[in-house]
Amino acid sequence: MAGVREGLVVRFFPRFLVTVALLLAVGVIIYRFPEWMFCLVVAALIGIGQNEFFGMVDKKGVFVYRYFGIIAGILVPVVIFLGSGEAEVKNLEPLLIVGASLFAFTLQFTRRDNGRDHLLSVALTLFSLFYICWFFSFILKLRLMENGANLVAFLILVTKSADIGAYLVGSMAGRTGLIPRISPKKTIEGTFGGVVLSVVIAMVLGPYLTGFHIWHLVVLGCVLAVFGQIGDLAESLIKRDCGVKDSGTYLPGIGGVMDLIDSLLFTAPFFFFYVTTF
């Protein structure tokens, strides 16, 4: 038992240090950066995430226009920011997505090879624009709202609490595999631990950051935890299909940017629509 605990500490410590450093950096970005700088950070993360995604796709031998995808992805948060507030030009976001979709097909017309992956190439390009760029851009939409900084902080803390709770409980008490064919290390016990920790964090910090009623916080804690872990599993499915372990190697114990933001890709849109609805 002592050996198991020591192994857990050895594996978790680098991840813990990186996580603490990232949380401090995120706190500065959320509360100290003006909105336009926050937009640039979101755009940078999207660009790196897009590059990682296309790098994984390359390993499957599918031809994609990497630079077009990255540029289009970076423009998504930029046009959201430009169309916010008192701006005279609205609805730039759907216009960009429609334009990018048309251009993705047009680029296929210019190919001179006889490849049989045209449909797959277009599908993966457009999928990346929705899955990575548009979904993650909802974090910028939250930041642009009234009390936006606190809402973004709440979203990140509750979502990432599920990751931490699932990792710790799964490592110490995990016995039953969740979906072994996709992610062999994820367990049902870990998933339950992640949900519990998310609900606790939501109930403790929610009154200060959001002002929501306690029952809203319980619902958000549960749903954000579940959606966050679905996002984690979704990226694991992509990595397994592409034959890679991590999307990148920038962050010790975590991987790449996609490994960092995967759990937020589904929780950010849900939380935005929950806040605007209720």
Cα–Cα dist 171/42, whole Å:
32
Contacts of 216 (CB under 8 A, 6+ apart): 206, 210, 278
Residue with tokens 């334009």: 99
The pLDDT assigned to 86 comes to: 66
Residue 93 · residue 81 · CB < 8 Å: no
Distance from the Cα of residue 216 to its chain's centroid: 22
The pLDDT assigned to 9 comes to: 53
DSSP at 211: -
Structure token pair of residue 54: 């296309």
Structure token pair of residue 223: 């749903």
- The vertex-12 CA angle with 11 and 17, nearest 5°, equals 125
What residue spans define the domains of the chain?
A: 1-31+147-278, 33-144
Q: Is 56 exposed, middle or buried (0-12, 13-18, 19+ CB in 10 A)?
A: buried
Cα–Cα dist 32/152, whole Å:
13
Neighbouring C-beta atoms of residue 219, cutoff 10 Å = 16
Measuring CA to CA, which residue among 58, 48, 69 is closest to residue 249? 48
Distance from the Cα of residue 24 to its chain's centroid: 18
Q: Report the chain (278 residues): mean pLDDT per 10 consecutive residues.
A: 50 70 91 95 95 89 88 93 73 85 87 76 91 95 95 96 87 82 85 94 96 95 96 90 79 81 95 94
The pLDDT assigned to 4 comes to: 47
pTM for this entry: 0.90
CA dihedral for 36, 42, 45, 48, sign (positive or negative): negative
The pLDDT assigned to 77 comes to: 94
Phi-psi category of residue 182: left, alpha or beta, with phi > 0 → left and psi -120 to 50 → alpha? alpha
Structure token pair of residue 99: 């334009």
